Amino acid sequence: MKNKNYHYLSYRVFYMILALLTFIGCLLLILTVIAISENKFFFILMIGYLLFFAAFYKGYRWICLPYKETSKVLRLFAKGYTLQGIYELRFSFCPEMEDAIKKIKTIFNTNELISATKKQAQYLALQNQINPHFLYNSLEGIRGEAIAAGLNSVAEMAEALGNFFRYTISNVENLVTLEDELMNIENYYFIQEYRFGERLNLSIEYDCEDRAEVLKYRLPKLTLQPIVENSIFHGIERKIGKGNVRIKIQATPKRLIITVSDDGLGMKEERLRELNEKLNIQSFDYVKPDGEKKAGIAIINVNNRIKLLYGEKYGINIYSTVDVGTDVEITLPRIIEEGKEL
């Protein structure tokens, strides 16, 4: 692997420029010696030095800095940190590279990825409903209620289940209002309440003045439900005693911030680091049908959908501490009408 750097054109160009600069520097040095010994040519020497430094400075600003910027973006792309970054490169190495990136963009079709993540979201949401535990527990709830002869509550639960299935299956591709999404969460909580009873408590807080307006903001369907579900099943289910899930909603002129917090078991530092790395690095390996099922897939899916739809500046952040709980912060653009980002 000796002299591997010569393989790259950038290194070849760099070495050529270095050689050229050294040559010009030597020429100037010789001219300086002549000028001092002959006691003339000082004006030419001064102009020579000025031009040399001006060319050096310009070269630094024109070539060195943009090169560093582009190579940094490419490096981050290679590591998976950015996808959008390479589409928005300010300086390409050559026109062919620009065309190549355009081609990559078409091959790496964002729309297809979005639709894959949507299907994955739908699949994940449904998978849990088909899950025998879910059905068993739900039916247990119904049975228990029936034994207690309170038929109204049986009807209520059946209705809640129906609504939940309907919301989950229909129009996943559309944006929904925050109000609809929260209603689905309340419905989901209503179902879970039968299982957890007083052990589970859900609260929704609005940290904004105009609550009615905030409820009209739009967000991708099934953004909140997988996160609340994770809070309940990974945070509160195995916890001894009561558990609280809190959804906090904040809005700024350009963003909608939703924080889902639970006071459950929390997660270990290594697991949290692993999850946050997956949230930062855009990878779609989990979409593959043969992919191993792991906790946290739903959150990664939601995060990827948000990033693909709105860009890297939006997405999910997780804070968690063992035996304290987990906070999932979802950042979305403030959208009032479908397709209109503020």
- For another protein, the binding residues (CB under 8 A) are 69, 72-73, 76, 81-82, 85, 88, 90, 207-210, 248, 250-255, 257, 276, 280, 312-313, 317, 319, 321-324, 327, 329, 331
Place of tokens 């109204």: 152
Least distance (Å) between residue 226 CB and another protein: 21
The two structure tokens encoding residue 336: 């009032």
Alpha carbon distance 192, 309 (integer Å): 31
Q: Which is nearer to another protein, 209 or 285 (CB)?
A: 209
The two structure tokens encoding residue 314: 């939006």
Least distance (Å) between residue 234 CB and another protein: 17
Q: Which is nearer to another protein, 209 or 292 (CB)?
A: 209
Least distance (Å) between residue 56 CB and another protein: 20
Least distance (Å) between residue 329 CB and another protein: 7
Q: Which is nearer to another protein, 184 or 230 (CB)?
A: 230
The two structure tokens encoding residue 135: 């059905």
Q: Which is nearer to another protein, 179 or 210 (CB)?
A: 210
Least distance (Å) between residue 255 CB and another protein: 7
Q: Which is nearer to another protein, 40 or 313 (CB)?
A: 313
Q: Which residues contact 35 (CB under 8 A, 6 or more apart)?
A: 41, 42, 44, 45
Q: Which residues contact 87 (CB under 8 A, 6 or more apart)?
A: 101, 105
Collapse the DSSP code of 315 into the 3-class scheme (helix H, G, I; strand E, B; otherwise coil) and give the result: strand
Q: Which residues contact 293 (CB under 8 A, 6 or more apart)?
A: none
